[in-house]
Amino acid sequence: MRYQASRQGAAQLAAFSKMMSNLLVASEEILKFAAVSAAIPDAKRKALINWTEFNKSYGEKLEQGDHKLEAPYEKEQWLLRQRNKFGRKREVAETAWVWGPA
């Protein structure tokens, strides 16, 4: 299990180590993993762990938001974009800034 967590990245490995430090959680997850792995007759390949479900069941969130592209426009940037990309006149763009696109 630890190997699969390390293959997902450092953040997943840290979350896995944190969750598995609790003995109750660790024993429950190991029993689940062993039950799934025992169902594979030759045991050459272990079952893959669904990390989304694993993290969701213990409240871990590993998502890193990137808000660079979500920053709102400044008025002048927006007006320039309206003129350059859409070919609108400044007056029409200013009206759209106040009232929203028509």
Quick check: 101 pLDDT over 60?
Answer: no
For residues 33-44, b (16+ Cβ closer than 10 Å) or e, as one string? beeeeeeeeeee
Residues 19 and 53 in one domain: yes
> Residue 63 falls within a domain, yes or no?
no
Quick check: 65 pLDDT over 90?
Answer: no
Residues 91 and 53 in one domain: no
Residues 22 and 49 in one domain: yes
Q: Which domain holds residue 80?
A: 68-99
Tokens 């979350």, residue located: 15
- pLDDT for the residue 88: 93
- Helices (H) then strands (E): counts for the chain: 6, 0
Average pLDDT estimate for 29-48? 73
Largest CA-CA distance found in the chain, in angstroms, rounded? 73
Sign of CA dihedral 54, 55, 57, 63: negative
Residues 32 and 75 in one domain: no
Quick check: 37 pLDDT over 60?
Answer: yes
How many domains, the chain?
Answer: 2
Residues 43 and 15 in one domain: yes
